[in-house]
Amino acid sequence: MTVHNLYIFDRNGSCLYYNEWNRKKQAGISKDEEFKLMYGMLFSIRSFVSKMSPLDMKEGFLTFQTSKYRLHYYETPSGLRFVMNTDLSVPNARETLQHIYSNLYVEYIVKNPVCVLGQSLDSELFSSRLDAFIRALPYYSPRAA
């Protein structure tokens, strides 16, 4: 049971934060390209999902899974996008992502007078609290399942 990595994007597509805990395989492209790819893909999936939905949609795109990992997506009303990859034992990380937003991002970034919104998140306080939070999750373990 584990968390692999986490991306935070703003509404313009810039990646504000990225960290990984347990990633065995890299994408083979530069980090910038990877972020662009991730954001672009999510943008397309969201629009596809809403277009093809046979019913009226509430939340829209939530997760996708492969045979090895699951990607969880959470978008705040302010346009911030949280993307987390976990292994398959985690069915729903929405609450986790919501917690990261309201208790970590809002507390340590929005309320930090030095952090300019829209720029990458440099605050060490934020990184260390986020790291501690991820490691304390019930479904986190240093080794992948």
Partner 1 sequence: MSYTHALLPPSYVEIEMADESLFDFLHMEIVSHIYKEQQSSKGEMDNKDRAVCVSVLESMGFRVGQGLIERLTRDSPSFKDELDVMKFVCKDFWTKVFRRQVDNLRTNHQGTYVLQDNKFSLLTQLSSGKQYLDQAPKYLAFSCGVVRGALSNLGMDSVVTAEVSVMPSCKFQVVVQKL
Which residues of this protein are in contact with partner 1, per CB under 8 A?
107-108, 111-114, 123-125, 128
Closer CB to partner 1, residue 56 or residue 124?
A: 124
Closer CB to partner 1, residue 14 or residue 112?
A: 112
The encoded tokens of residue 61 equal: 């795109």
Secondary structure class of 101 (helix, strand, coil): helix
Q: Residue written as tokens 């939905």?
A: 53
Closer CB to partner 1, residue 62 or residue 110?
A: 110
* Cβ-proximal residues to 118 (8 Å cutoff; 6+ apart), any chain: 10, 12, 14, 16
Give the integer Cα–Cα distance in Å for 34 and 38: 6
Give the integer Cα–Cα distance in Å for 10 and 117: 9
Instruction: Give the shortest CB-123-to-partner 1 separation in angstroms.
Output: 7
Closer CB to partner 1, residue 47 or residue 103?
A: 103
